[in-house]
């Protein structure tokens, strides 16, 4: 949900104080499909399979393919886990608590929204279709920027040339202290791209949690309540800042202030910044569940397209 503090108004003749309440940017007819599926409770149920898949995939695929000691983890997941450990949980228990943070935040938002808790399982399939459809424009944008961003020179290494020419950009930041040659997994190509899919699913959940659900709300509070910007200006500035930070964190782990596995590239930075704006608009219109699902499906589709169609 796109939550911000909204002024309901002040009755000067009655001398009433301004009141604030959390609200979604767009309102839909009560109990309609769009209204139901934008509720936080829907996000919880819709995303539980994604959360479980990421946790199990991290254990059975990524730990052997990428590395151990949190290297190769989704950066945003590591941030949330670090926050849980800061609260006093052990590293082992923090692994279990981290996905629960997503659920507890959404439960809190569901309670605060005072919306109905009723859930229709038949809505899950159209929600999935919706996420896939929303991911397609990003796939198209990825192809466009990939074609326009090719900069192959005689000094460009052959491997880098292939990457520039035959891949579209993902939206998942992975942390690592490893050098590129060390990163290459000594395992089958199938397990390699399965690990990329697992990483993309985790990025969809935790990057949207950090950069949309949390960061935009904090920025809205700062610009609307502290600096007294009007609501439209606060929304625009918050979206642009969150999009820029979202894109930058794919190259720099802000919390540990170290580079991620991906060196800076202007075309990829621009693409992810535009993707950040797109996800923020989607977040405002359709809530957290659809946005996180769209992000995850985009990363999955990007991996499949790169492996099955572009890099053969």
Q: Please write down the HEC assignment for all residues of the chain.
A: CCCCEEECCCCCCCCCCCCEEECCCCCCCCCCHHHHHCCHHHHHHHHHHHHHHHHHHHHHHHHHHCCCCCCCCEHHHHHHHHHHHHCCCCHHHHHHHHHHHHHHHHHHHHHHHCCCCCCCHHHHHHHHHHHHHHHHHHHHHHHHHHHHCCCCCCCCCHHHHHHHHHCCCCCCCEECCCCHHHHCCCCCHHHHHHHHHHHHHHHHHHHHHHHHHHHHHHHHHHHHHHCCCCHHHHHHHHHHHHHHHHHHCCCEECCCCEEECCCCCHHHHHHHHHHHHHHHHHHHHHHHHHHHHHHHHHHHHHHHHHHHHHCC
Point out the least confidently predicted range of 78-87, 203-212, 221-230: 78-87
The mean of the pLDDT values for the chain is: 78
Higher pLDDT, 25 or 119: 119
Q: Among 88-97, 122-131, 148-157, which range has the highest average pLDDT?
A: 122-131
pLDDT tens digits for range 55-114: 888 877 755 444 443 345 788 888 898 888 888 888 778 878 889 999 999 999 999 988
Instruction: Examine the pLDDT at 214 and tell me if it is beyond 50.
Output: yes
Higher pLDDT, 307 or 117: 117
**Which pLDDT belongs to residue 180?**
39
The angle at the Cα of 46, spanning 40 to 52, to the nearest 5 degrees, equals: 115
**Which pLDDT belongs to residue 156?**
43
Instruction: Examine the pLDDT at 44 and tell me if it is beyond 90.
Output: yes
Separation between Cα atoms, residue 278 and residue 171, nearest integer Å: 12
**Which pLDDT belongs to residue 254?**
80
């Amino acid at each position: 949900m796109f939550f911000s503090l909204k002024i309901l108004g002040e009755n000067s003749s009655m001398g009433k104080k301004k009141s604030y309440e959390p609200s979604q940017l767009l309102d839909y007819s009560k109990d309609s499909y769009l209204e139901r599926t934008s509720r936080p409770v829907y996000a919880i149920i819709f995303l539980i399979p994604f959360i479980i898949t990421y946790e199990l995939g991290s254990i059975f695929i990524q730990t052997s393919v990428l590395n151990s000691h949190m290297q190769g983890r989704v950066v945003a997941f590591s941030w949330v886990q670090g926050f849980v450990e800061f609260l006093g949980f052990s590293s082992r228990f923090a692994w279990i608590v981290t996905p629960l943070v997503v659920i507890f935040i959404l439960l809190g938002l569901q309670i605060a929204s005072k919306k109905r808790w009723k859930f229709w399982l038949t809505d899950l399939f159209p929600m999935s279709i919706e996420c896939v459809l929303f991911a397609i424009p990003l796939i198209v944008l990825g192809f466009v920027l990939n074609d326009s961003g090719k900069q192959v020179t005689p000094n460009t290494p052959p491997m880098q040339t292939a990457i520039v020419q035959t891949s579209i950009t993902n939206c998942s930041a992975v942390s690592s202290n490893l050098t590129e040659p060390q990163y290459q997994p000594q395992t089958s190509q199938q397990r390699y791209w399965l690990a990329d899919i697992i990483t993309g699913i985790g990025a969809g959940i935790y990057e949207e949690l950090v950069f949309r659900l949390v960061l935009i709300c904090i920025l809205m509070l700062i610009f609307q309540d502290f600096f007294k910007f009007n609501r439209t200006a606060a929304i625009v500035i918050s979206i642009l800042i969150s999009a820029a930070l979202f894109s930058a964190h794919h190259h720099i782990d802000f919390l540990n202030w170290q580079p991620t596995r991906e060196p800076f590239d202007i075309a990829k930075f621009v693409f992810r910044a535009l993707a950040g704006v797109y996800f923020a608009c989607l977040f405002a219109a359709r809530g957290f569940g659809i946005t996180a699902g769209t992000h995850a499906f985009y990363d999955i589709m990007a991996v499949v397209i790169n492996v099955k169609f572009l890099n053969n």
